[in-house]
Structure 1
Amino acid sequence: MTDYTYYTASTLDGFLADPDDSLDWLLSQPIDEDGPFSIADLMAATGVIVMGATTYEWVLEHTPDEPWPYPDQQTFVFSHRELPLVHPTVRVISGSPAEHRELLETAAGELGVWVVGGGGLAAAFAADGMLDEMVVCYAPVALGAGRPLFTRPFDFELLETARNKAFVIARYRVVGARGPSQ
């Protein structure tokens, strides 16, 4: 069975990016690349990457002279627009995550799916029953506004925490959507 993990960084007040989609708050924080919850460990367990159009466009805009950062994984970008394809492993798809479950799991093989973001896409995966865990690297920053970490009411169970330099990292199991009586 394919594991789906939303692995992301967030401010203490629950934002992925500021109102201008800047990640300056994140990129200025110290982290040990070989420390707990390292990106290398995540990538070794990842066969497919999924992201929304805004995330994809951010990567393209902020790394114009660099090669595609995920050449070893198939990347599926969820969008209703045409987007430039910058690497043979990148494919644009539209619709709900559930509509593409077989495609994603076949492409992942024995490995997992990394839901990069944003928060709306991660929430859509959770709503479709396709999000097992959420790993959030909390930075010691508050923005007051911006792109939210998660866009739907859901419950999570804390499984593990760690510290990696400036970040407190929390790993959660997705419990389910919050109902009106909860």
Structure 2
Amino acid sequence: MATHYYTASSLDGFIATMEHSLDWLLTQEIDQDGPMAYPAFEKEVGALAMGASTFEWVMRHEGGRWGYAQPTWVFTHREIELPTDGDVRRVQGSVAALHDEMLEAAGDKNLWVVGGGDLAGQFADAGLLDEVWVQFAPVTLGEGAPLLPRALDLELIEVARNRNFMCGRYRVVKPAAHSQQAAAG
């Protein structure tokens, strides 16, 4: 079990517009049975962590219905209305303080950091992010919510084309491992 940040991005590195819209993404064709597509990824997810903006977008996009069976932690400092169905928890504070609880809830599956580049960055800052999966759409936005507003070293472990998407899967190079490699090099 691992902690994965799985998302889509514009070519210029944004996951949403300044208004938190994903309309640019939803107009793109992707083969749902193709390489690195969401359905296969989601089957390996046992728990979710997301920020409030992503949560609110999902609720709007799904007409107020919560579609995930997995337990979900929504990190926010503001009041949000939680769905009555599903296991959705409003939390605040350090991702590190809740990471073990989220992994335990995930069982033998992965924890998915959904959307929210800054939230994924908080997991990375704490040394808790294992992989980054990005599906790059053939669009540019010019501005918006950044893919991952952190300086990280990543190792490319898989690449694929899914219709017009360029898909990459990366292992996060942990600081201790990076220092050991540099010393050995």
The question of a shared fold, defined as TM-score above 0.5 by the shorter chain, is answered with yes
The residue identity in structure 2 corresponding to 1:77 is: V
TM-score by length of 1: 0.92
Q: CA 1:17–1:83 in structure 2 vs 1: closer, same or farther (change >3 Å)?
A: same
Match of 2:93 in 1: 95
Question: Would you say how many aligned residue pairs link Structure 1 and Structure 2?
Answer: 176
Q: Which letter maps to 2:141? A: L
Percent of aligned positions that are identical: 49
Q: 1:24 to 1:88 in 2, by over 3 A?
A: closer
Query: Residue type matched to 2:28 in 1?
Result: Q
Displacement of 1:82: 2.2
Q: Deviations over 1:102-150 (max 9, x none)?
A: 2111111111101112000000001111110000000000111000000
8 Å Cα contact 2:66/2:86 also seen in 1: no
Deviant stretches of 4+, over 2 Å = 176-179
Within 5 Å, which residues of 2 pair with 1:62-73?
62-64=61-63, 67-70=65-68, 72-73=69-70
Q: Could you say which residue in structure 2 is the equivalent of 1:76? A: 73
What amino acid does structure 1 have at the position aligned with 2:7? T
Match of 1:151 in 2: 149
Give secondary structure in 2 for the equivalent of 1:77: strand
Structure 2: 5+ residue runs without aligned partners?
180-185
Deviations, residues 7-34 of structure 1 (Å, cap 9, x unaligned):
0000000000112211111000000111
Q: Unaligned 5+ residue runs, structure 1?
A: none
In structure 2, distance between residues paired with 1:55 and 1:111: 22
Q: Which protein has the bigger helix share?
A: 2
Shift of 1:90: 0.7
- The CA distance in 2 between the partners of 1:133 and 1:152, in whole Å, is 14
Q: 2:108: which partner in 1? A: 110
TM-score for both structures, normalised by structure 2: 0.90
RMSD (CA atoms): 1.6
* Partner residue, 1:160: 158
Please state which structure has a larger fraction of its residues in strand.
1
SS at match of 2:153: strand
